[in-house]
Structure 1
Amino acid sequence: MTRDLRLTVAAELERTRARTEVLTEAVDDADLIRQHSPLMSPLVWDLAHVGNQEELWLVRDVGGRDPVRRDIDELYDAFKHPRRDRPALPLLNPAEARAYVRQVRDKAMDILDTVRMDGRPLVADGFAFGMIVQHEQQHDETMLATHQLRAGAPVLTAPAPPPATAAPRGEVLIPAGPFTMGTDVEPWALDNERPAHRVDLPAYFIDAAPVTNAAYAEFIAAGGYDDPRWWGEDGWAHRTTAGLTAPAHWNRDGETYTRFGRVERIVPDEPVVHVCWYEARAYARWAGRRLPTEAEWEKAARFDPATGRSRRFPWGDDPPESRHANLGQRHLSPAPAGAYPDGASPLGVHQLIGDVWEWTDSDFHGYPGFRAFPYREYSEVFFGPDYKVLRGGSFGTDAAACRGTFRNWDYPIRRQIFSGFRCARDARPEDLG
């Protein structure tokens, strides 16, 4: 068992590093050190940062080894330096960053060969290694978002996603009753996914698929960006200040968008992406709906009405395969609604995993009985009304950092992330017969 776990960890570390190399080797050194947006770090900062986190947790803590580069800890502390300020720091240059992450990885793999995978919680079931895999994959998605903001000729390629083979239209009724939210058993689940707890919800409807470009274009054509009724005071203030008129990266012609350096025609049945929470809420109000709560999203994604249990994923407990969901940067866009019928939930809700992160109406808080682990700065310092929860992952999210319980969060104004949404509504008595 321990040997199998070591092999799994080693494979995940190597697979993840291969993705990091694709994202950082695709551009020249000038692009690596350039800041492509004040919202994002230079790519070379992300590269060295993932190495520094690996050193802190695997080399120094788990392995008890001497530091590799204690002198750079502060440079790569995300809490000490806002993204906009990082280009001015004395960062490792690309060659130094690559050498550093290789040196750290060599030590981490050596530690993996000998460390016990039991005892203290940090190493039980390989948790610390899984945490580092997820952390690097999260930064890989961040670097992919930086590539989307980058000016210049295209450097990333991937095949188009599969076409739709189902026609998920309308909404799905989720029956009233309790379900288990969160987890106590997922070995690499992060602290904000724990503990498992019972949540009882009234009946509600949720969209069978994320809101598409075609549906969102109707909102734009109906003057949705010009009517403060849909936005609320806070949303209208942001829409006005930011000058929002369409999703990010849509071009003025209303027929094309720019994606990773390529101008492409907008695909009508593709989930809309790069919208902020305020835009999602405005659309939902215009449509006579609302955003789902986080609990409603998770019940739709995990609840099996036949057994009453919560699954790991909408399709079951098995890890995602390519037929289930659009994950892992296999494609460079969301797939059309209906492209993954094998990934639908038992109640017929499609594409809850992958394609686009989905905004919910919930603030980010800990679950009842939450305990910070292994450090407060992973989740707890973000709790409160400033952050909204997103669920489900995107085409840029890796399977290692995505499951039915996984929680993401961001400011409601953010839209450089691969964010979309679906709508929900309360069930009325007449809907229930």
Structure 2
Amino acid sequence: MTAPDSLTDPESLRTRALDALTTARERTALLTSCVEDPELTAQHSPLMSPLVWDLAHIGNQEELWLLREVAGREAMRPEIDGLYDAFEHPRAARPSLPLLPPAEARQYAAEVRGRALDVLESAAFQGTRLTEAGFAFGMIAQHEQQHDETMLITHQLRKGPAALTAPDPAPAPLFTGPAEVLVPEGPFVMGTSTEPWALDNERPAHRRTVPAFFIDTTPVTNAAYQAFIEDGGYGDRRWWTPEGWDHIRAHDIEAPLFWRREGGQWLRRRFGVTEVVPPDEPVLHVCWYEADAYARWAGRRLPTEAEWEKAARHDPAADRSTRYPWGDADPTPEHANLGQRHLRPAPAGSYSAGESPLGVRQLIGDVWEWTSSDLLPYPGFVAFPYREYSEVFFGPEYKVLRGGSFAVDPVACRGTFRNWDYPIRRQIFSGFRTARDAAPGSS
């Protein structure tokens, strides 16, 4: 178990940071070594960067924060800073930049990592907010894992045969538990002020009062979503917001991304393999508009971000918020489907060890879950260590996703972690669950 208040011993912090950095780099190496160099430099979709850009960007961010900011060292390659500034060049334009070729990008990232490990070896983990409890090292490990997820999305978008393999999740019996769970009305603590590697938008902890509501026990499955399709959901304007209706009509969207109908059944392409859509898996690759339309069709709605977090973290017996649905212990393979251990969601109802005190399952891992909420700051929010991490995204343009997916590493996933994207995004590993109001006074 790794509880936030126990992370004060320097050697324990050093070990934790080393493990997180090493795990991330091993994954980066896998994602960039499984294809030939032309595949690394190609842009497989205008929505994504060439894989070689992500590789050098990972090294550049590590150099910026661990070598320059923490250790006060001179820049190794100042001339490339602009090339790998995510805000200076949109993804669609990055292939035209004079990027480092694959071998040079690997060499640069490896040299940065060697120097960063020297910094870690002598780190005192105190003195500034950036170094306290190893925050900068945790931030960089999370950053690399977030780009690893981005690169996995690129692998899903690329054409051609499969380049990645992984075992499937263990088979699970068909879930026969209750379809929904009541979350009683009342206050709970949202966000965190104690998780040492939590990012700025997760802070500070504050009390929220949420009316009683029901939430799906598991994410919405492919079979359930197919019922929406077969009932003409994509052709019925009643279920869509005006913006959503305009979007799906303009882009001829009639099913989740990567699905196609053939011979009377639905097929999907998953990492270079075409397969029958598995009915019991959580639906994947749907945008916010699709999730919202399904919920309306089902007579329900998407949960708010606060509702989602209360369902995931609130322990009514102890009257406190936990780090994860199952408690404060770090995730294990018994708790959740994380870390690219599998290349697909597990069947709905899996991971009984990971359910919340109220009995809600798969709140962590498998699929990112759309909520109805815009990305907004918490009361008392302070940008740290730079505004561009989250502050510049606050507003109604972005919808919040929660819970992580099978592509998320545990270091970048917890009960307070907030993700966000445009409501049109479908290439991400996104699904959802629905909710509905409960009668006042329900308990």
TM-score class normalised by the smaller sequence: over 0.9
| Conservation of the 8 A alpha-carbon contact between 1:63 and 1:115 | no
3-state SS of 2:29 partner? helix
Are positions 1:167 and 2:181 aligned together?
A: no
1:271 maps to which residue? 282
2:305 maps to which residue? 294
Distance 1:432 1:295 in 2: 18
Q: 2:392 aligns with which of 371, 381, 389?
A: 381
1:24-423 equivalences in 2 (<5 Å): 24-165=32-173, 166-253=175-262, 254-423=265-434
3-state SS of 1:251 partner? strand
Distance 1:327 1:163 in 2: 16
> Which sections of structure 1, spanning at least 5 residues, go unmatched?
none
Say if 1:292 and 1:261 are closer, same or farther in 2 by CA, change over 3 A: same
Distance 2:417 2:378 in 1: 13
Task: Give the TM-score taking structure 1 as reference length.
Answer: 0.98
Deviation at 1:169, TM superposition (A): 3.9
Distance 1:72 1:257 in 2: 39
Return the letter of the residue paired with 2:137: F
Identity %: 66
Distance 2:64 2:442 in 1: 54
Distance 2:111 2:442 in 1: 61
Distance 1:26 1:97 in 2: 16
Distance 2:342 2:181 in 1: 28
Deviation at 1:69, TM superposition (A): 0.7
Q: What RMSD, in angstroms, separates the aligned Cα atoms of the two structures?
A: 1.0
Runs of 4+ in 1 over 4 A off after TM superposition: none
| Conservation of the 8 A alpha-carbon contact between 2:184 and 2:442 | no
3-state SS of 2:371 partner? strand
Return the letter of the residue paired with 1:186: E
| Conservation of the 8 A alpha-carbon contact between 1:231 and 1:281 | yes
Distance 1:264 1:341 in 2: 27
Deviation at 1:113, TM superposition (A): 1.2
| Conservation of the 8 A alpha-carbon contact between 1:182 and 1:196 | yes
Decide which moves more: 251-260 or 413-422.
Answer: 251-260
Return the letter of the residue paired with 2:50: P
2:3 maps to which residue? none
Task: Give the TM-score taking structure 2 as reference length.
Answer: 0.96
Q: 2:12 aligns with which of 4, 15, 36?
A: 4
3-state SS of 1:255 partner? strand
| Conservation of the 8 A alpha-carbon contact between 1:44 and 1:94 | yes
Decide which moves more: 237-246 or 247-256.
Answer: 247-256
Distance 1:34 1:102 in 2: 22
| Conservation of the 8 A alpha-carbon contact between 1:173 and 1:206 | yes
Distance 1:50 1:102 in 2: 10
Return the letter of the residue paired with 1:205: F
